[in-house]
Each structure stands twice: as structure tokens, then as C-alpha cells.
Amino acid sequence: MAKTVQVFILILVLHVLESALANKFSSLSLADDCSLLFQFKVSVSINKSASIYDSRACPKVASWNLNGSDGAGNCCLWDGVECRLGHAIGLDLSSSFLYGPISSNNSLFNLIHLRTLNLANNDFRSSQIPSGIGRLSQLINLNLSNSFFSGEVPKQISHLGNLVSLDLTENYKLTLHGSDFQNLVQNTSETLRELGVFKTGYPKIRISEIFRIPDFTIRICIRNFGYPKFRIRIRIVASWNLNGSDGAGNCCLWDGVECRLGHVIGLDLSSSFLYGPISSNNSMFNLIHLRTLNPANNDFRSSQIPSGIGRLSQLINLNPSNSFFSGEVPKQISHLRNLVSLDLTENYKLTLQGSDFQNLVQNTSCFMEPQWIRWCGNCCLWDGVECRLGHVIGLDLSSSFLYDPISSNNSLFNLIHLRTLNLANNDFRSSQIPS
């Protein structure tokens, strides 16, 4: 019995000693972090003009103090600082009136346990993002938005292999080179889920060598469609790679690619930062088994829809909407006899000649979309047509891409039972209303 009590007391003493030593080392580690934070405070300037867009802004670092009563010397109690297990792991200095450049040798970048760093809505005077950021290898969340950073994003940002969220929005003069972006995507391919790049100027990232389809570029600047801030989920062709482990070289596993029976049958490239014209000789148009192609919401720089589209004769669904295509829709689009859905909306400078449209309608006799095209059998079932007692009495062709003058001899005017006719929101090329 006495022996058991002795063993118990020994275990208890060892546990107490272990806790005391852990606390001692933890205190030392925390003291180091607190010292680094205080050095950062001393190194930065405060200017109330630096965060004028946030009414709740306050100079958080101004209250930091190593010497004080009531635990004021404990940096875990400082405004904007989060600690865990004796280390500073989070730093939220958003809207803190921080002003002026930060050196890459700043003590901030020695806080190697940081997992969250938020420097948003400050004014770093159009300086570069410090390369020292790459030393914070444990970062999960990094927010440098609206902080007047400019120049090239440092290569070292690609070292942050644990990033889940990166926000670079609202830094108008910030650019990111293609190779650095490629490294960032590859190094964070298992973690990165949110990338904020809205209004970062107009940097372009060429990734032809990754995409394997020439003429494509990737762009981290998205046009302003009126949203105060825009974040995208990472789903871009930059992650495509023919050489890789775990099946990475199998294109059927690539994001946006659908395969069946050993062929690529679907390609969803919507909202994928594609930028610049596509050549009609592009290898994409040799994917002859494609049934679905969606390049919507990209920026093809007011180029024409490539005539090579006509070679994709198996296409059922084609959506190049809101992609800054312009000029005439190529005649070859009428070769797509299997089309069920075609969306050309939101391409404001795109035109379709009447004869080409007629061929398209004839060749796709059971066309289902856009809404007003359904030319199969009984005209009373056609979109926009209303019948009663065996006669057409209503015709709604509003917003139907109608283009060019209508002759007074047009068969439309022989529909003598019509009671409603709506031709609104079309373009009759400044012609007269037909007599």
C-alpha cells in the first residue's frame, strides 16, 4: 500500500514539474512573440488618414505596451492579437491607421506561428508587399486588401503552402507574374479555397504552357460589375498538369473536364479568368467528342467567336455568354446540328446575320434554347406564339436578337388574326416601321 502511495506521489510530482517547465518555456516563447510585436509597433507609423473608409477604424497598436499593470504586458491581451499554446497565432490589424512601407526585415515576419494576418484597409503608400511574408509559412488566412500595395507580388508568397484564403482585392497597381501565380496554385492546390483579386489593376498571367491550349491567358483582374468586393473560388485551368502524381496527368480528373468512354465530352471553363482572343486553329476545336462547352464569363477582348467552333459537331450545349465576344457570329455555328442549348447573351457587340440565323434554325430543327427558338411541328407550341381557335393571335418576339429591316411584304403581316404583336428590344437598323 505504502509503495502504491509513493508511486502515485512520484507521478504527481513529475506531472507538476512537467507543467511548470511547459509553462516556463511557453512564457519564454510568448515573451519572444510579445517582444516582436512591440518592435513592430515601434517600426510603424500611425496616420488617421490611412483607414478613412472604415468608420470603426482605431489605432490598435497604439495601446500595446510591454510594461504595465493588470496584465498589460501580456500581448495575448492586446487589441488584434490572438494567442494559443504560448504563441501569437492571429493578428488582425485591419483598419488600424497603419501608414507607410513595411520592411522585409520587420519583426512582424519573425512571428513564425502566425496562422492569420489581416492588414486590410491601411495605407502602405504604394509600396511592395514585403518579401518577408514568405517566412510566415504557417499562414492559413492572409488579407492585404485595400491597403495601397503596388508593384509585383513577391515570389515568396508562393512559399505559403498552407493558405486557405488570400485576399489581394482593391490594390489597383498590384501585379502577379504568371510563373509566380503558377507556383502559388501548385503549392496550395490542396488548401487554397478563396482568392480575392478584384480590382487589382490589369495584370495578365499567361499560362499557355499549363493549359496546353495556345492563345489563352489568365487574368487576376475581374471587371467591375458593380459589386463592392468579389471573391472567387479556385477552379481554374492553372491547376491542369500533364505531369503529376496521384493521377494528376489524367485530364479526366482536371477541374472543369468531364469524360465518358475515354473521351472528353464536357468542358466548363466559366469564370476561369480566360483572357484574349482564341484562334480558330486552337487545339480545343479538335476535341471532336465535346458535347458541352461553357466558356461563359471570361474576357475574350471583343474578338470574334472562332470559326473553329463549327468543327465541334457533337455539341449539345454551348454557352459563350458574357464573354466580350463581338462581330458577326461565324457561319460555322450553323454546322452544329445537335445543339439543344445556345446562350449568346450579354455579348453586346455580337451580331448574327439573318441568313446564318436561318441556317442555324433549319439545321437545328429541334432547338430548345434560347427561349424563343423552338421550331418543331405545331407553331402554337413555339415560344412566343399564342393561338386561339386555330389561329395565331399573339406574337411576342421581344428581346429576340432580330436584326435588319423588315419588308412590308414580310409574311408576318399576313397573320391577319394577330391581336398582340411585341417586337420590343430588337435592332431594325434605324429602318421605317413597315407599311
Looking at every residue in the chain, the average pLDDT score rounds to: 78
Report the pLDDT value the prediction gives residue 421, as an integer from 0 to 100.
94
Report the pLDDT value the prediction gives residue 221, as an integer from 0 to 100.
32
CATH number at 157 reads 3.80.10.10
Between 144 and 211, the more confident residue is: 144
Report the pLDDT value the prediction gives residue 311, as an integer from 0 to 100.
94
Report the pLDDT value the prediction gives residue 208, as an integer from 0 to 100.
33
Q: Report pLDDT digits (tens) over 317-367.
A: 899 988 889 988 898 888 888 888 888 888 888 887 766 666 776 666 544
Report the pLDDT value the prediction gives residue 196, as an integer from 0 to 100.
63
Report the pLDDT value the prediction gives residue 228, as an integer from 0 to 100.
29
Between 99 and 19, the more confident residue is: 99
Report if pTM > 0.75.
Answer: no
The amino acid that residue 288 corresponds to is I
Does pLDDT of 261 surpass 50?
Answer: yes
Does pLDDT of 232 surpass 70?
Answer: no
Q: Average pLDDT for residues 101-105, to the nearest whole number?
A: 95
Report the pLDDT value the prediction gives residue 271, as an integer from 0 to 100.
78
Distances (CA, A) of 277 to 281, 283, 302: 12, 14, 8
CA distance 33 to 88: 6
Asked whether residue 314 is assigned to any structural domain, the reply reads no
pLDDT band, residue 403 (cuts 50/70/90): confident
DSSP letters spanning 290-356: --EEE--S-B-TTBPPPGGGGG-TT-SEE--TTS-BEEEPPGGGGG-TT-SEE--TT-TEEE--HHH
CA distance 388 to 408: 25
Asked whether residue 267 is assigned to any structural domain, the reply reads no
- CA torsion sign, 26 to 29 to 35 to 40? negative
- What is the number of domains present in the chain? 2
Between 143 and 31, the more confident residue is: 143
Report the pLDDT value the prediction gives residue 418, as an integer from 0 to 100.
92
| Structure-block grid coordinates of residue 177 | 507574374
pLDDT band, residue 370 (cuts 50/70/90): very low
Last residue of a domain, one of 203, 223, 254: 203
In the chain, pLDDT over 70 holds for what percent of residues? 72
Between 145 and 53, the more confident residue is: 145
**Domain assignment of residue 125, given as a range:** 20-203
Tell me which DSSP letter residue 129 carries: P
Q: Report pLDDT digits (tens) over 122-173.
A: 999 999 999 999 999 999 999 998 899 998 889 898 889 888 888 888 888 8
Last residue of a domain, one of 203, 223, 248: 203
In the chain, pLDDT over 90 holds for what percent of residues? 32
Between 197 and 382, the more confident residue is: 382
291 contacts: CB under 8 Å, gap ≥ 6: 265, 266, 314, 315, 316, 317, 338
Report the pLDDT value the prediction gives residue 22, as an integer from 0 to 100.
42
| Structure-block grid coordinates of residue 368 | 430548345
pLDDT band, residue 202 (cuts 50/70/90): very low
Asked whether residue 105 is assigned to any structural domain, the reply reads yes
Q: Average pLDDT for residues 110-115, to the nearest whole number?
A: 96
**Which of 23-32, 205-214, 365-374 tops mean pLDDT?**
23-32
Last residue of a domain, one of 203, 229, 252: 203
Asked whether residue 253 is assigned to any structural domain, the reply reads no
